[in-house]
Copies of this chain bind each other. A is one copy, B any other.
């Protein structure tokens, strides 16, 4: 039996259609989860051919806003950055809450409950659950330098933020944009080390406008997706890395742009939040999202 439910395809980290990172969102808020199989969800995600397709379900507990299941064309993911922001935008639109003003949203997903903020500017941000820093060997760092064709200005580190990104900081934004990696060698190095890929970043600070970076994300496990256009988890990795090397003592905003080489123009707003009383640090990534396709899907 065919069921027809609301559907949106949303562009994330942009307010301009086709300049961000797309996610397909299927609205199962009114559909009992038992009525659809995991295999069906996987088939849909394979068919849309986007990096991620998500499914909104009613939450298991009324304290949360919705439950989200996230699929790549190949597998289910416990969490992903841009799909979370796009799905939250879709949730607000599906439930007519876009004009209800700023609010906190609690997303139930594979990593637990992710807190999201819908702010007064209409931007949505999530708080990262996992931000562990690990060292990488000199040999691996040297291999990455060869594959990327450029030396890091600080020792690269492994950031476990869900995906396992190596953050690789270079001298400036132009170097990030101009870089042409040896993708085959990069994949070899990354595969050997068991990493997801490389987050390349360079400062575009002019000295007085706060922290600003140009970023690229080379996604290495599959040769079919060489570069992610605008990457939420990559931005989390960059924030955590910057805190590691710069040791900010107060809350710091980090604006990140990404996607120029893929004809995109993504804007990620990062925030390293430091609680003045407890000194506890949390990492937040957000931005705009815009609905490009709006309609229904028949399953």
Please give the residue numbers on chain A whose beta carbons come within 8 Å of chain B beta carbons, in ascending order.
2, 7, 11, 17-18, 22, 43-44, 46-51, 223-225, 263, 290-299
A-B contact pairs, 9 of them (CB 8 A): A7-B293, A17-B47, A22-B47, A22-B48, A47-B292, A49-B51, A292-B297, A294-B297, A294-B298
Residues of B within 8 A of A46 (CB): 18, 263
Say how far A297's CB is from chain B's closest CB, in angstroms: 5
Given known A17-B2, A17-B298, A223-B223, contact A263–B293 (CB-CB < 8 A): no
Residues of B within 8 A of A51 (CB): 49
Binding site secondary structure of chain A: mixed
Contact A17 B50 (CB under 8 A): no
Residues of B within 8 A of A11 (CB): 47
Contact B298 A295 (CB under 8 A): no
Residues of B within 8 A of A294 (CB): 295-298
* Chain B CB within 10 A, most for which of A11, A18, A51, A225: A18
Contact A299 B17 (CB under 8 A): yes
* Chain B CB within 10 A, most for which of A47, A50, A225, A295: A47
Residues of B within 8 A of A7 (CB): 293, 295
**A222: nearest chain-B partner, CB-CB:** B224
